[in-house]
Amino acid sequence: MSLQNILQTFAVINPNKQVSTEIADSSLYQRLNEDYNSFKGCELVSCYTFDKDWDSWEIHPAGDELVILMSGRVTFVIEFDGAAREICLSTPGDYAVVPKGCWHTARLNESSTVLFITPGEGTQHRSA
């Protein structure tokens, strides 16, 4: 067991529920695809600080994503049953579940830090 910081080192939970750590650097997603069988059955626990609206949408076909506000204020826009729903996270500890297969993006009300637990297999992006 060793001390880590989620802002610098992300955790990967594999299908056997064992945890590996990965440095959050520019080659992270390439390593995740190569070293974790295209992320099949894995979940990524990550934490990001955002200063502006996301410039893309994403979708996770392998499962629900949990998003937890650590600081700031952020609105997640989720396409659900053909309509956009907004969920505002405004108090540290607020969280939302993005349902499997729903496109989503984030709008920032101020600089915000968000913790994600993401089923990464098959994640797709499209421009906002």
Q: What is the mean pLDDT of the chain?
A: 95
CA–CA gap between residue 102 and residue 17 (Å, rounded): 25
Domain residue extents for the chain: 9-127
Q: Is the CATH code 3.40.710.10 the one for domain 9-127? A: no
Rounded mean pLDDT, 22-26 = 93
DSSP conformation class of 109: S
Which residues are paired to 125 by β-bridges?
A: 58
State which amino acid sits at residue 51. D
Share of the chain above pLDDT 90, in %: 89
Q: What is the pTM of this model?
A: 0.93
The answer to whether 65 touches 117, Cβ cutoff 8 Å, is: yes
